[in-house]
């Protein structure tokens, strides 16, 4: 959407379009795959229509935001295994505070929860920087901390949110083919990530993820970049938790556990290198939709939807193998 | 000490003492870990006098055994710069399949099935990492999703045959001999001896360090890196399988979330134990002490009677604290 469209508008140099297509091949391919999945679903399930698209968008919203959170950490060379716990924390905070409140208060609470998520993410990042312990160990340990805090806020599933707040993610926008959940997703990613990506700070995230030492020697503040990437990660995770509150209407302290690893799966499928420094937000979002549509299709096909997890794992591995083979062949040629 | 030099000031002596201590701690990390372990046990005895007894040691070892065996596989993988995120799913699969097949297939064959599945998953991991060059994190995470998914489907299919843990597995996992010697040491001690000996003395052990330290150098020196990695991940899978069966014996039940809570501790035990997550440095001795520290920590958090949320927060914070202190000492 962003870079390919931008190049198309620009007065065309010879081969500019071709270059853009090649550079964004993975993203374009993934959107084509998503389209193929939608068509396939239409084939096996005649009545698949606007309503089902809305259901899909609602179902995919938390995972898509988890994927966005993970992407923010991964491009800067980190990984955040506490995304699920942070989502659960935001979910229970929102649900327990919003119970029996007016819509206006609920929006204020949502803003507070987002700030809390950003602060929690900043703490993750500060700990990674201060302790010099590998990211994966720090965030795994912090997943216990945030999970514990979530249990502290709300020991059992409960709480609630005003119907207007829940309605933010359901329903459609303007035409019946654009579900609100998609609008929420595009807005939250578009308003947070794309402005950041265009600043020096955003560029420094990619620089640090690509080669921290080289970035440091070029004068990039590595510690600041790391902390910013985890802050953005926490912000998206909190948005994902709010999405859980919108779509389920309650808070559950264990709701987030699924999203840590599935978020990583979406990031990998989205072509974001776990080594850092490469990848954008568009492809992981499409990947989140694909990972959500697979169990639905299995259900339509009459198969056990639990195979969805198997397929998710298998796709993740196969995608990386394919990417490895392609780059191997390219470097060999 | 020469007379021409001014006498060192007290603070300088202290600094040198601290440096000296740091150097020693770096060389003998396992000693500082043992000191931490003893301190935790002492704290336990202060909080609840008379708690630390032969019986307590015996039950602590019983509870530490599955974690210790899981950490063995995790150590082997981390030494090559990898990580195995599938150990918990594999342990669960081995324990659950073993228990659900015991009635129909007989005890010995059921155990064999469980271990076979574990080794097979390890083989797939190894081929993925070693031959197809998938990042270990992605490969093992993907396989853990695959295994967990299959297990959920299998549970629905196998619901007719009740899961029953064979008697001898329960005896090994939770029994004691001569009053206090935990039976699971029958598994853990030979495994520990073999892994420690293998890492220090065998050619394969050296290859693991070589591959972890610098895979390119290892390859150029004529090491078939992919073979080393495939064997490594099969071993990790097999050890996870043994741990899962031991765990089923310990709890006498097998559910499909049997081993799920062991994923973080298995990594934490290795990291606390001083094995570098980037490979090439560390050993199993530290991981054993790490597993014991984590087990004592859990019982410490249990007896202070804090509510579950607090326990979780403390557990995470303490793991992070120990890992941070450790990194500081080693990198100084």
Task: Give the pLDDT confidence score for residue B2 in this predicted structure.
Answer: 44
CB-based contact A141 B316, cutoff 8 Å: yes
Q: Which pLDDT does position B21 carry in this prediction?
A: 63
Interface test with B, best of A88, A93, A127, A133 (most B CBs within 10 A): A133
Do A207 and A201 touch, CB atoms closer than 8 A? no
Q: Can you spell out the DSSP letters for B263-279? A: HHHHHHHHHHTT--TTS
What pLDDT, in 10s, does the model give residues A221-249? Answer: 999 999 999 999 999 999 999 999 988 88
Find out whether A181 and A292 touch, Cβ atoms under 8 Å.
no
Q: Which residues of B232-258 are buried (b: 16+ CB within 10 A; e: fewer)?
A: bbbbbbbbbbbbbbbbbbbbeebebeb
| Model pLDDT, residue A3 | 46
* Interchain contact, A136 vs B83, CB within 8 Å: yes
CA nearest to B328 within chain A:
A131
B137, B153, B317 member nearest A307 (Cβ):
B153
To the nearest whole number, what is the mean pLDDT of chain A? 85
The arithmetic mean of pLDDT across residues A20-35, rounded, is 83
Confidence of residue A61 (pLDDT cuts 50, 70, 90): very high
What pLDDT was estimated at residue B160? 53
pLDDT of residue B332: 55
**Chain A residue with Cα closest to B137:** A274
Q: Do B310 and A148 touch (CB under 8 A)?
A: yes
Q: Which of A149, A158, A181, A141 is nearest to A53 (CA)?
A: A181
Decide if A261 and B141 are in contact by the 8 Å CB cutoff.
yes
Mutate one of B71, B139, B146 to test the A interface: name it (highest A CB count within 10 A): B146
Mutating which of B159, B271, B320 best tests the A interface, going by the most A Cβ atoms within 10 A? Answer: B320
Q: Classify each residue of B284-300 as buried b or exposed e, where b means 16 or more C-beta atoms within 10 Å of its C-beta.
A: bbbbbbbbbbbbbbbbb
| B193 burial type by CB count under 10 A (0-12 exposed, 13-18 middle, 19+ buried) | exposed
Virtual torsion, Cα B51, B52, B56, B61, nearest 10 deg: 140
**Interchain contact, A320 vs B139, CB within 8 Å:** yes
Query: A207-221, A245-259, A314-328, B294-308: lowest mean pLDDT where?
Result: A314-328
A263-295: pLDDT as tens digits: 888 888 888 888 888 888 889 999 999 888 888
Residue A7, pLDDT > 50, answer no
pLDDT score at A332: 52
Within chain B, residue ranges assigned H as helices are 10-27, 29-47, 54-79, 87-105, 107-126, 136-157, 167-174, 185-201, 203-213, 215-220, 225-251, 263-272, 284-303, 308-331
**Span A118-146, mean pLDDT?**
92
pLDDT classification of A161: cutoffs 50, 70, 90: confident
Burial class (CB in 10 A: 0-12, 13-18, 19+), B160: exposed
- For the ranges A23-27, A225-229, A320-324, B44-48, the one whose mean pLDDT is highest: A225-229
Distance, in Å, from the CA atom of A17 to the CA atom of A5, rounded to the nearest integer, reads 10
- Angle separating helix axes B185-201 and B54-79, nearest 10 degrees: 40
Residues found in chain A = 333
pLDDT, tens only, A67-86: 999 999 999 999 999 999 99
Do B324 and A265 count as a contact with CB atoms less than 8 A apart?
no
Which residues in A lie closer than 8 A to residue B132 (C-beta atoms)? Answer: 321, 324-325
User: How many Cβ contacts (< 8 angstroms) between chains A and B?
Assistant: 149
Is pLDDT of A6 > 50? no
pLDDT of residue A258: 81
Residues B324/A133, Cβ–Cβ less than 8 Å: yes
How many alpha carbons fall within 13 Å on the CB side of residue A73? 34
Quote the pLDDT of residue A2. Answer: 45
Q: Which of A150, A155, A309 lies nearest to residue B152, judging by beta carbons?
A: A309
Task: Give chain B's residues under pLDDT 70.
Answer: 1-28, 159-162, 330-332
What is the pLDDT averaged over residues A212-221?
Answer: 90
Among the residue ranges A130-139, A313-322, A323-332, B234-243, the one predicted with the least confidence is A323-332
User: What is the pLDDT at residue B308?
Assistant: 82
Q: What ipTM goes with this model?
A: 0.80
- When pLDDT is averaged across residues A98-120 and rounded to a whole number, the result is 91
Give the number of other Cβ atoms within 10 Å of residue A173's Cβ.
Answer: 13
User: Domain extents for chain B?
Assistant: 48-331
Mean pLDDT calculated for residue range A173-201: 84
- A278 exposure class (CB count in 10 Å sphere: 0-12, 13-18, 19+): middle
Chain A's closest residue to B270, CA to CA, is: A137
């Amino acid at each position: 959407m962003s870079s390919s469209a931008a190049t198309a508008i620009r007065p065309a140099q010879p081969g500019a379009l071709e270059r853009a297509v090649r550079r964004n091949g993975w993203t374009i391919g993934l959107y084509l795959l998503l389209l193929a999945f939608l068509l396939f679903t239409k084939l096996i399930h005649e009545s698949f229509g606007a309503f089902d698209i809305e259901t899909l968008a609602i179902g995919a919203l938390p995972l898509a935001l988890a994927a966005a959170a993970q992407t923010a950490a991964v491009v800067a060379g980190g990984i955040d295994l506490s995304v699920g716990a942070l989502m659960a924390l935001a979910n229970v905070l929102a649900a327990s505070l919003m119970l029996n409140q007016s819509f206006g208060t609920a929006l204020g609470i949502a803003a507070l929860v987002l700030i809390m998520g950003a602060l929690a993410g900043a703490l993750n990042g500060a700990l990674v920087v201060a302790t010099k312990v590998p990211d994966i160990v720090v965030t795994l340990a912090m997943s216990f901390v945030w999970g514990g805090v979530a249990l502290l806020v709300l020991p059992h599933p409960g709480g609630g949110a005003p119907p207007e707040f829940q309605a933010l993610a359901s329903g459609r926008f303007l035409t019946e083919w654009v579900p609100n959940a998609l609008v929420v997703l595009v807005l939250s990613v578009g308003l947070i990530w794309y402005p950041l990506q265009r600043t020096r700070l955003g560029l420094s995230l990619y620089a640090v993820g690509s080669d921290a030492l080289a970035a440091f020697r070029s004068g990039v503040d590595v510690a600041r970049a790391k902390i910013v990437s985890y802050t953005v990660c926490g912000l998206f995770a909190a948005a994902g938790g709010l999405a859980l509150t919108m779509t389920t209407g309650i808070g559950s302290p264990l709701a987030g556990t699924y999203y840590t690893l599935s978020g990583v799966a979406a990031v990998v499928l989205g072509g974001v290198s776990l080594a850092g420094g490469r990848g954008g937000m568009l492809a992981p979002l499409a990947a989140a939709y694909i990972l959500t549509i697979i169990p639905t299709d299995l259900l339509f096909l009459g198969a056990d939807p639990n195979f969805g997890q198997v397929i998710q794992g298998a796709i993740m591995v196969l995608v990386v193998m394919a990417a490895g083979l392609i780059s191997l062949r390219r470097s060999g040629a | 000490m020469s007379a021409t030099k001014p006498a060192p000031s007290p603070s300088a002596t202290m600094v040198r003492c601290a440096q000296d201590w740091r150097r020693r701690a770096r060389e003998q990390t396992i000693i500082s870990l043992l000191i931490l372990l003893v301190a935790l046990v002492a704290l336990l005895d202060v909080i609840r006098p008379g708690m630390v007894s032969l019986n307590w040691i015996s039950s602590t070892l019983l509870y530490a055994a599955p974690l210790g065996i899981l950490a063995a596989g995790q150590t082997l993988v981390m030494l090559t710069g990898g990580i195995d995120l599938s150990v918990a799913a594999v342990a669960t699969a081995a324990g659950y399949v073993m228990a659900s097949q015991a009635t129909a297939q007989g005890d010995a064959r059921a155990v064999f099935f469980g271990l076979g599945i574990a080794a097979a998953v390890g083989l797939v991991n190894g081929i993925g990492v070693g031959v197809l060059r998938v990042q270990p994190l992605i490969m093992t995470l993907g396989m853990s999703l695959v295994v967990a998914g299959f297990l959920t489907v299998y549970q629905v299919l196998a619901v007719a045959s009740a899961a029953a843990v064979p008697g001898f597995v329960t005896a090994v996992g939770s029994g004691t001999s001569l009053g206090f010697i935990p039976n699971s040491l029958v598994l853990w001690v030979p495994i520990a001896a073999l892994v420690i000996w293998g890492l220090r003395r065998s050619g394969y052990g050296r290859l693991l360090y070589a591959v972890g330290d610098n895979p390119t150098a290892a390859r150029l020196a004529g090491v078939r890196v992919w073979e080393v990695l495939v064997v490594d991940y099969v071993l990790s899978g097999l050890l996870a399988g043994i741990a899962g069966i031991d765990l089923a014996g310990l709890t006498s039940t097998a559910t499909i979330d049997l081993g799920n809570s062991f994923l973080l501790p298995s990594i934490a035990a290795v990291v606390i134990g001083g094995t570098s997550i980037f490979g090439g440095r560390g050993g199993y001795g530290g991981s054993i002490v790490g597993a014991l520290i984590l087990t004592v920590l859990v019982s410490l958090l249990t007896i202070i009677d804090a509510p579950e949320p607090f326990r979780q927060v403390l557990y995470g914070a303490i793991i992070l604290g120990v890992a941070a202190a450790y990194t500081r000492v080693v990198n100084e």
